[in-house]
Amino acid sequence: NAGVTQTPKFRVLKTGQSMTLLCAQDMNHEYMYWYRQDPGMGLRLIHYSVGEGTTAKGEVPDGYNVSRLKKQNFLLGLESAAPSQTSVYFCASQNQGPISNQPQHFGDGTRLSIL
Amino acid sequence: DAKTTQPNSMESNEEEPVHLPCNHSTISGTDYIHWYRQLPSQGPEYVIHGLTSNVNNRMASLAIAEDRKSSTLILHRATLRDAAVYYCILSVFMEYGNKLVFGAGTILRVKS
């Protein structure tokens, strides 16, 4: 059981380039989340999705777009990368359940550097 | 936004119990208290969560104060594999799903 898989694991971009980070989960979870983690800090929510075809903004959405065309996949896009977006990006999935009661399952992250 | 306060770091000896404290004085009635841990170069791993009552699972115990403004994660016998950053998190209800509000966490070091 793979759980939550993120690709790629590492990437270096130049300022202004675009790229897409892929998150795939095989647990049939309804909810999926994208977070970023900067050095020495906790994770911050970028965008999330409560089901196929739906997305919503989190705490720090500027500069990012997302899509959830299939239930098992959640894509995070950077249209024009900026050095401030250098970070480690984590995807998580969650089973739909009682309010605030379900743990989130995280992937191992994508380390993104923007020069 | 909902916020937690934890010690920056703690140290424990192997095979001894560890008590990791957390303050969350601004917690609201519907916020669950979650604990996750993160090993180097890995994503956060769920440990335990609760609302009002103390909770036990195979990994740890969670003791929640009666006024819910603080909680303590208890690792009964620390091992070297328990060395990680431990996050005390308030799981805040959104219209759908829940947002995990992370703080900076506590770095736990385990000595052999």
DSSP-assigned letters across all residues of B31-63: PEEEEEEE-TTS--EEEEEESSS-EE-SS-EEE
B81: phi then psi, degrees, rounded to nearest 5:
-70, -10
Which chain A residues are Cβ-neighbours of B32 within 8 angstroms? Answer: 100-101
> What tens digit of pLDDT does each residue of B54-76 get?
999 998 999 999 999 999 999 99
Could you tell me if B4 and B55 are in contact, meaning their C-beta atoms sit under 8 angstroms apart? Answer: no
Share of chain B above pLDDT 90, in %: 73
pLDDT along chain A (115 residues), means of 10: 90 96 95 92 90 91 96 96 96 76 91 96
Which residues are CB-neighbours of A65 under 8 A, at least 6 positions away? A47, A76, A77, A79
CB contact under 8 A, A31 and B97: yes
Residue B2's pLDDT band (cuts 50, 70, 90) = low
CB contact under 8 A, B43 and A33: no
Residue B83's pLDDT band (cuts 50, 70, 90) = very high
Residue B41's pLDDT band (cuts 50, 70, 90) = confident
The confidence score (pLDDT) of residue A100 equals 52
The count of residues in chain A is: 115
CB contact under 8 A, B97 and A40: no
**Rounded-to-integer distance, Cα A74 and Cα A31, Å:** 10
**Rounded-to-integer distance, Cα A28 and Cα B15, Å:** 38
> What tens digit of pLDDT does each residue of A82-105 get?
999 999 999 999 987 655 578 899
The count of residues in chain B is: 112
Q: What are the residue ranges of helices labelled H in chain B?
A: none
CB contact under 8 A, A31 and B104: no
Q: Does B105 touch chain A (CB under 8 A)?
A: yes
Which chain A residues are Cβ-neighbours of B99 within 8 angstroms? Answer: 45, 48, 58-59
